[in-house]
């Protein structure tokens, strides 16, 4: 840590968390950019792989992406052949998004990239520390969302 940073800040877990999050976001973004993708692409594809076809609104909720950003990211993924849109048989005003075979392959590539980013971000921590950190962050997030 920078010796120029006041201890009034470096002793605050919230400050440390935001500084760490900024570094993590940069590293993840650079990793995805190297693979010709963005974090939104990974989040959407991972959601489709785990939960199957979904409406744009449902994808936004499940991946925590704003609706307008979902549309833009899905346009990019569709242009690259990673997802397909089709009218929802139950509601023609809505689209159902389905991941393609190429999309599943791309999602696996992105999973590898994000895994490498995790190693860079958390390389200073032991496996036990990583597990503990994940549990603590999950608890914090659940507390504030719930």
Cα–Cα distance for residue pair 59/67, rounded to 1 Å: 9
Spatial contact of 117 and 39, defined as CB atoms under 8 Å apart: no
Q: What is the pTM of this model?
A: 0.88
Angle at 86 between CA 75 and CA 99, to 5 degrees: 65
Cα–Cα distance for residue pair 98/54, rounded to 1 Å: 7
At 31-40, the pLDDT tens digits run 999 989 999 9
At 30-67, the pLDDT tens digits run 999 998 999 999 999 999 999 999 999 999 999 999 98
The reply to whether CATH 1.10.10.10 applies to domain 19-145 is yes
Let me know if 89 is exposed, middle or buried by CB neighbors in 10 A (0-12, 13-18, 19+).
Answer: exposed
The tokens describing 131, both together, are 């597990």
């Amino acid at each position: 840590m920078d010796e120029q940073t006041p201890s009034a800040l470096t002793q605050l877990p919230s400050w440390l968390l935001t500084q760490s999050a900024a570094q993590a976001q940069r590293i993840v973004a650079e990793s995805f950019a190297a693979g010709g993708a963005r974090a939104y692409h990974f989040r959407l594809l991972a959601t489709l792989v785990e939960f199957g076809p979904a409406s744009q609104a449902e994808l936004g909720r499940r991946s925590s992406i704003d609706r307008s950003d979902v549309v833009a990211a899905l346009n990019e993924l569709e242009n690259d052949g990673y997802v397909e849109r089709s009218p929802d048989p139950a509601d023609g005003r809505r689209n159902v998004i389905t991941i393609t075979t190429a999309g599943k392959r791309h999602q696996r590539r992105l999973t590898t990239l994000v895994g490498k980013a995790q190693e860079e971000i958390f390389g200073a921590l032991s496996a036990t520390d990583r597990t503990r950190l994940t549990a603590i962050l999950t608890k914090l997030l659940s507390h504030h969302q719930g």
